[in-house]
Amino acid sequence: MTERLRLKKNADRRLKAGHLWLYSNEIDIATTPLKDFEPGAQAVIEAANGKPMGIAYVNPHSLICARIVSRDVDVRLDRSLFVHRFKQALSLRERMFAKPFYRLVYGEGDLLPGLIVDRFDDVLVVQLNTVGMDRLREEIVAALEKVLAPRAIVFKNDSSGRRQEQLGDEVEVAYGELPDQVLLEENGVRFVVPVLDGQKTGWFFDHRANRAWLNGLVAGKRVLDVFSYVGGWGVQAAAHGASEVLCVDSSAQALERVAENAALNGLAEQVAVGEGEAFEALAALKAEGEQFDVIVLDPPAFIKRRKDIPNGERAYSRLNREAIRLLGRDGMLLSASCSMHLAPERLMECVRGAVRHQDRHGQVIYQGHQGPDHPVHPAIPETAYLKAMGVRVFRN
């Protein structure tokens, strides 16, 4: 018999609106003590009047103490439901993308909270970010095997989310045999993906459409790609006609991958790399009198928690100021943020202040966000996190 978790009076409003999360302070712990639950156990969620509202998995040690996996209380999160949800997710991606390179499962956006799956053709990279998902790893592998028959499945379980759930880090090939090189194609450009030792799952599919937009504006231009990682922006810019590209990153290993990806596309002559921390590298380029036509700023999240907002906004402002100093008379800035806690209008304000600080004019000509393989759950604002602004920056 499935355990039950009862909500306090009026604590069911968000659930009725479509949200999937329950917080520990919303639970009627006198009736259904959270401490009685084993982490990852599944439970029927009940309104205060006892009405069943759905099935969730529970973690009594987390602020988000339960996550809804189905509104049907007769359903359980098991191999069968995973197969169904994976097929639903796959049907969307196959409508959106001609080739099998995309985020296949985006957690709450695909009604599978705590689960990420990225697809690189016949290699799948999985992140199990909650205890509830971690307990079901065998069912997840079996369902992926049934739906996609992959060559290999990698568990890339080293996210900060796991640590919040008191789970350890692990990176392993969970199924099949990993090829020597995992390749992907994005916007007509090929890349080697470091699925075992790269950031996140090895690649950031979320910026695909934003990169495609910028690719149309770089022909004959000198491009600076800051926080370049393995060259997603910079190598694509070179492939779309940029005369020169400089990729800057603090990781020597990432820059080796930039060079490898440039060579893979016959672009070694156009793409240079520079190792360094971003702010120091921008200052050094200014001191050397360098100038660029297009600058891409795609930093890691400067704001991880709400309390980081003031310091994070100052960092975004400073980063954009330093970059704009390196733009020519009529340049293009692509300024991005993956900080969920930074509202789009605040990024706009950071860029506006940076443009005026250099006594220039700005015209926002593009506002982008995450691609359709990262579908936004309309009841969960946290699923909409990515912002990208294309700004023409020019002198009087």
Task: Kindly report, residue by residue over 271-325, the tens digit of the pLDDT.
Answer: 999 999 999 999 999 999 999 999 999 999 998 888 999 999 999 999 999 999 9
Tens digits of residue pLDDT in 330-357: 999 999 999 999 999 999 999 999 999 9
* % of residues, the chain, pLDDT over 70: 100
H helix and E strand count, the chain: 11, 19
Respond yes or no: is residue 65 known to be catalytic.
no
Q: Can you tell me which residue has the tokens 């770089």?
A: 218
Strands 222-226 and 292-297: parallel
Q: Please give the mean pLDDT across all residues of the chain.
A: 96
Do residues 366 and 296 make contact, with C-beta atoms less than 8 angstroms apart?
no
CA angle 260, 201, 41 (to 5 degrees): 165
Beta bridge partners of 183: 192
CA dihedral 325, 326, 332, 337 (to 10 degrees): -70
Catalytic site residue from 65, 247, 338, 350: 338
Instruction: Tell me what percent of the residues of the chain surpass a pLDDT of 90.
Output: 95
pLDDT tier for residue 1 given thresholds of 50, 70 and 90: low
Looking at residue 8, what DSSP letter applies? P
User: Residue 275 pairs with which residues in a beta bridge?
Assistant: 249
Residue 29 has pLDDT above 60, yes or no: yes
User: Rounded to two decimals, what is the model's pTM?
Assistant: 0.95
Q: Name every residue whose Cβ is closer than 8 Å to that of residue 76 and which is 6 or more positions away in sequence.
A: 2, 42, 55, 70
Residue spans of alpha helices (H) in the chain: 13-16, 79-96, 131-134, 137-148, 160-164, 208-215, 232-239, 252-264, 278-287, 309-324, 344-357
pLDDT value for 200: 92
Amino acid identity at 104: L
Q: Residue 129: its pLDDT value, please?
A: 96
Q: What is the pLDDT of residue 50?
A: 94
CB 250 within 8 A of CB 277: yes
Q: Tell how strand 101-106 and strand 115-120 pair up.
A: antiparallel
Question: What was the pLDDT predicted at 283?
Answer: 97
Q: What is residue 362's predicted lDDT score, i.e. its pLDDT?
A: 97
Kindly report, residue by residue over 148-183, the tens digit of the pLDDT: 999 999 999 988 888 888 899 999 999 999 999 999
